[in-house]
Amino acid sequence: MGIDLEEIRERFACKGQDVRSYAPLTLAYLGDAVYELLVRSVLVSEADVQVHRLHLRATSYVSAAAQAQLIRAILPELTQEELGYYRRGRNAKPHSVPKNAVVADYRAATGLEALCGYWYLTGQTGRLLALIKMGIEEIDPQRKGKNGT
């Protein structure tokens, strides 16, 4: 993904932590940033357009509804361990739910974000990219066959 966790830990003298010890909302917090970086990286690499247009395109992938649709598309591909991290995130009790989001979608999106955090922290960027690409192609059929996503 371009940002190497081991290099971050080394340069900032951060100690590693067992991924199983992270709270689900902590995994989701990190996973939200990982997923957002992935989407923004793809969109920016496709075309040099106005930031406002990039933002509008990005929101079609990062909204709770889009993330819920994406996780539903990839659920059959998840391992039992991955399903566990997804469920932990989905079942976590958020402090609030945005007014423009359906609660079920928001919870599913939080589960996806927790899963992205898990993949990132465990160095499984190949798995992260493959499954997110698959999910994005399901929610946006125009993306099928594109090399980027």
Q: Is-catalytic flag, 32?
A: yes
Chain centre to alpha carbon of residue 121: 12
Contact in structure between 38 and 129 (CB atoms under 8 Å): yes
Residue type, 60: S
Residue 118 makes CB contacts below 8 A (sequence gap 6+) with 19, 27, 31, 82, 85, 124
Residue 17 makes CB contacts below 8 A (sequence gap 6+) with none
Exactly one of 32, 48, 105, 140 is catalytic; name it.
Answer: 32
* SS3 call for 92: coil
Query: Where in the sequence numbering do the catalytic residues fall?
Result: 32
